[in-house]
Copies of this chain bind each other. A is one copy, B any other.
Amino acid sequence: MGKLGVAVIGLNGAVATTAAAGIAAIRAGSNDLAGLPLADRQGTGLHDYRDIEFAGWDLNGRSMAEAAQAHEVVPAATLSAVREELAGIRPWPAIGSTDFCANIDGDNKMNGGCGHRAAVQQIKDDLDRLRETRGVDDLVVINLASTERLPNANGLLERLDAFEEGLDANAPEISPAMLYAYAAIDHRVPYANFTPSVAADAKALVEFAEKRGVPIAGKDGKTGQTMMKTVIAPALRDRALHVDGWFSTNILGNSDGLALDDPKSLASKVNTKKRVLDQILGYPVEDHIVMIHYYRPRGDAKEAWDNIDVSGFLGQKMQIKVNFLCQDSILAAPLVIEIARVLDLAAKRGDGGVQEQMSLFFKLPQTRGGRQPEHEFSCQVRMLDAWLEQGTPN
Residues of B within 8 A of A76 (CB): 76
Contact call B325/A322, Cβ cutoff below 8 A: no
At the interface with chain B, which of A33-41, A129-137, A363-371?
A33-41
| Bound complex: CA A241 to CA B223 (Å) | 12
What number of copies of this chain does the assembly contain? 4
Inside 8 A of A289's CB, which chain B residues have their CB?
251, 293, 295
Evaluate contact between A33 and B240: CB separation under 8 angstroms: yes
Partner pick for A227 among B235, B324, B333, B376, CB 8 A cutoff: B235
Q: Within 8 Å CB of A318, what residues of B?
A: 324-327, 330-331
Q: Would you call A18 and B313 a contact (CB within 8 A)?
A: yes
Mask: chain A, 325-343; 1 = CB below 8 Å from B; 0 = not: 1110011011000000000
Residue A242 at the chain B interface, CB threshold 8 Å: yes
Q: How far is the CA of A32 from the CA of B293 in the complex (A)?
A: 29
Q: Does A249 sit at the interface, judged by CB under 8 A?
A: yes
Bin chain A's interface residue count: 35 or more
* Partner of A309 from B39, B234, B297, B379 at Cβ < 8 Å: B297
A315 partner residues in chain B, CB cutoff 8 A: 32, 34, 75
Q: Indicate if A74 sits at the interface (CB-CB under 8 A).
A: yes
Which residue of chain B is the closest to A315 with respect to CB atoms?
B32
Expressed in whole angstroms, the Cα–Cα distance for A218 and B309 within the complex equals: 29
Most buried by B among A232, A235, A324: A235
Tell me the dominant secondary structure on chain A's binding face: mixed
| 0/1 interface trace, chain A 228-248, chain B, CB 8 Å (1 if under) | 100110110011111011010
Q: Which residues of B contact A323 (CB under 8 A)?
A: 319-323
A238 shortest CB reach to chain B, Å: 5
Q: Closest CB-CB distance, A117 to chain B, in whole Å?
A: 39
Residue contact B238 to A37, C-beta cutoff 8 Å: yes
The answer to whether A247 touches B295, judged by C-beta atoms less than 8 angstroms apart, is yes
A311 to B327, CA, bound (A): 10
Instruction: List the B side residues contacting A309 at CB < 8 Å.
Output: 297-298
Q: Which residue from chain B places its CB closest to the CB of A288 in the assembled complex?
A: B295
Smallest beta-carbon distance A302→chain B, Å = 10
Tell me if A28 counts as interface (CB < 8 A to partner B). Answer: no
- Complex CA gap A240/B76 in Å reads 23
Q: Is the CB of B312 within 8 A of A330?
A: yes
Answer whether residue A21 sits at the interface, using C-beta atoms and an 8 A cutoff.
yes
Does A99 lie at the interface of the complex (its beta carbon under 8 Å from any beta carbon of B)? no
- In the complex, what residue of chain B is closest to A381 when comparing beta carbons? B238
**Could you mark each residue 369-380 of chain A with 1 if its beta carbon is under 8 Å from any beta carbon of chain B, else 0?**
000000011110
Residue contacts A-B, CB under 8 angstroms, 5 given: A35-B241, A75-B314, A227-B235, A228-B235, A318-B327
Binding site for B on A (CB under 8 A): 18, 21-22, 25, 32-37, 39, 73-76, 78, 227-228, 231-232, 234-235, 238-242, 244-245, 247, 249, 251, 286-287, 289, 291, 293, 295-298, 303, 305, 307, 309, 311-327, 330-331, 333-334, 360, 376-379, 381
